[in-house]
Amino acid sequence: MPKASELKKGQIVQVNGQPHIVSQIDVKSPSSRSGTTLYKVRFNHVQTKQKVDQSLTGDDFLTPVDFQKRPVAFLYQDADGYTFMDNEDFAQFTLSAEQLEEQLPYLYESIEGLYGLLVEGNLVGVELPAVVEMPIEDTPPAIKGSSASARTKTARFATGLEIQIPEYLETGEVVRINTESGKFMSRA
């Protein structure tokens, strides 16, 4: 049984006897010595997507839900949603934009390292790789001149994601982005 302090985004646990996926974790450390660290956790119900917010201490235990984590491939997007294929048995699943809310900016054709979270044979969520590589679709040109500080500029990607990148990068270059923090890491 996982403790609240061991929870990770995308993990599936039972809340009020129902399977919920962890969508957000906010850690609040107290300023006093004897205070307990609080974990404000947002859960989304696996089927209904209803949000549940709970405050937990690090020693609170949660009941895990039996689920499978299988490699999947992103196939396409249409009016019904986003379609994924299980890489092992080639079954196809469709998730809505609401179900993939936070992962959408990082989903693009031929993305590697996606895992599907299956509960009772149904795809309930997608786990992104830690790092994605994407080409810059649009960014302003660098301003010539020396500067003592590292300046950044906004870059836009085909998925609609916008992040801050170093000034020397140009449109068309492929960069590595941390999917957890949404920050630029390096050139690919």
| pLDDT value at residue 165 | 93
- In angstroms, the CA 6 to CA 68 distance is 19
- Which of 48-57, 90-99, 168-177 is least confident? 48-57
Token pair in block for residue 144 = 């010539």
- In angstroms, the CA 116 to CA 162 distance is 25
Question: What string of H, E and C letters represents the secondary structure of 72-121?
Answer: EEEEEEECCEEEEEECCCCCEEEECCCCCCCCHHHCCCCCCCCEEEEECC
- In angstroms, the CA 112 to CA 132 distance is 8
The band of 186, judged by pLDDT with boundaries at 50, 70 and 90, is: very high
Residue pair 94/116 in contact (Cβ under 8 Å)? The answer is no
Please name which of 13, 38, 15 lies closest in space to residue 125, comparing C-alpha atoms. 13
Token pair in block for residue 44 = 């989304």
| pLDDT value at residue 147 | 61
Query: Domains in the chain, please, with CATH?
Result: 4-64 (2.30.30.30), 68-129 (2.40.50.140), 132-187 (2.40.50.140)
In the chain, % of residues over pLDDT 90: 29
- In angstroms, the CA 85 to CA 182 distance is 25
Q: Look at the chain and count its residues.
A: 188
The band of 72, judged by pLDDT with boundaries at 50, 70 and 90, is: very high
Q: Give this prediction's pTM.
A: 0.73
Over the stretch 111-147, which tens digit does the pLDDT of each residue have? 889 998 888 888 888 888 989 999 999 999 877 765 6
| pLDDT value at residue 73 | 93
Please name which of 71, 68, 73, 104 lies closest in space to residue 179, comparing C-alpha atoms. 104
